[in-house]
Amino acid sequence: MKKKLKLGLFGFGCVGQGLYHVLHETHGVKAEIKKICVKSHDKKRPIDASFFTWNPSDILNDPEIDVVVELIDDAHAAFKIVKTALENGKHVVTANKKMLAEHLQEIYDLQQKYDRSVLYEGAVCGSIPILRNLEEYYDNDMITSIEGIFNGSTNYILTKVFEERQSYIEALKAAQDLGFAESDPSLDVEGYDPKFKLTIAIAHTFGVFVKPENIINVGIQKISAVDLKYARENNLTIKLVARAYKINGNIYGFVAPQFIPADHMLANVRNEYNAVLVEGAFAEKQVFIGKGAGSYPTGSAVLSDISALTFDYRYEYKKFTQGDALPFSNNAFVDVIVSFPDGTLISNRDFESFKGGYQGKGYQYLQGTVSLERLKEWSQWDDVSVILAPILNLTGANQIQNTERLSA
């Protein structure tokens, strides 16, 4: 017999209201919202005022509340809420990828210490049920890679800029109006948000807790009209891809934009849709596609976690507890295409191996293999745009001078 859960909700913005809606539209989930804690006193709320409080303790210290649902946009405050909730014997559901990525090991330890569950499917690729699949379905499969489009708002922006020739600013504004963008949009466009999701995915895929600051992220903010023209002329599109691989005893992971051939699985993942490609030694390649952002899609993932708590579900972090976790490394090479105005200090000698390039209309294009560190360095230079070369072989890897080569 499923229990009826009493929920204390933090945050009533895009996702909080989405959860409220989907909870009231479905009849199968035995849960009801008792209180909602918000920040601002003077905002007009779409539901009865009696639901709301501004005092976290009205939820955290209410013995009747079984589950704290944390849906606020402040990672620092969110961690305090999650920690106190666990200390007070409550289960937690959260969609806060920044908070999770920054504190994942600690949150794992707190779950063990207080024997309570923290579920966070909505934090990774919105409505796509990837974490529970990684935990349960792929338990015995040897996963070799996980990669894909992990950020709905940048995918929306890239789609509008590429297909409808909207300006970057116009497309970002539309993504914000539709509720896909983070409150701080630099988290999306600079590739931090997909990096946070990748951090969480790496823990559930490979059993490794990596600090997000150790994962390289390159965003879409430097992609220029010249890059878009290059893509159109070569039957390519551009996607922001998060990826992690297990190769020769190491785990590698990074986020960067990539030229994607028109016939590649990721090419037709458009707008706010996300896609996750999982490759296993036995199951081989599988793809999950779904809405990665937005009020109802994310609300439905949060609801699914609440539903899972009615039958006492918890993540077992099996790949971590199995104890054969591999080290995380950035010591890898990738193929890139770098574009920059004439006079910028990049030459063919800066590549590990140089493949070619051309010059025209005050711009230069160079293609070749560089280290991940060099990719990161160039991505921080003014006027330089660095994009991974089209995918030729998703899993291929060769040993070069004791360093891994990821074939991008």
Interface with ligand NAP, residue 179, by CB under 6 A: yes
Stretch that binds ligand NAP, among 27-35, 68-76, 108-116, 387-395 (CB under 6 A): 68-76
* Residue 400 near residue 333 (C-beta atoms within 8 A): yes
DSSP symbols for 2-57: PPPEEEEEE--SHHHHHHHHHHHH-SS--EEEEEEE-S-SS---SS-GGGEES-TH
Q: Where does this chain touch ligand NAP (CB under 6 A) — which range of 5-13, 23-31, 136-144, 370-378? A: 5-13
Among 24, 43, 232, 285, binds ligand NAP (CB under 6 A): 43
Q: Which residue is nearest to ligand NAP (CB)?
A: 13
Among 79, 138, 150, 180, which residue sits at the site for ligand NAP (rule: CB under 6 A)?
180
**290 belongs to the binding site for ligand NAP (CB under 6 A):** no
Contact pick of 102, 121, 135, 182 for ligand NAP (by CB under 6 A):
182
83 in active site? no
- In angstroms, the CA 335 to CA 356 distance is 12
State which residue, 95 or 389, has the beta carbon closest to ligand NAP.
95
Toward ligand NAP, which CB reaches closer, 93 or 309? 93
* Pairing state between β 385-388 and 363-371: unpaired
Provide, rounded to whole angstroms, the least separation between the CB of residue 338 and ligand NAP: 31
**Nearer to ligand NAP by C-beta: 177 or 233?**
177
- The catalytic residue among 35, 195, 197, 222 is 197
DSSP at 213: G
8 counts as binding ligand NAP under rule CB under 6 A: no
The answer to whether residue 95 forms part of the interface with ligand NAP (CB under 6 A) is yes
Q: Does residue 51 touch ligand NAP according to CB under 6 A?
A: no
The greatest distance separating any two alpha carbons of the chain, rounded to the nearest whole angstrom, comes to 71
Pairing between strand 67-70 and 91-94?
Answer: parallel
Structure tokens at 285: 């390649």
Residues 6+ positions from 95 with CB-CB distance below 8 Å: 15, 70, 71, 120, 122, 123, 298, 301, 302
Which residues make beta-bridge pairs with 237? 260
Helix (H, G, I), strand (E, B) or coil at 209: coil
Binding site for ligand NAP (CB under 6 A): 10-16, 37-40, 43, 71-74, 77, 95-97, 122-123, 126, 179-180, 182-183, 293-294, 298
Catalytic residues: 197
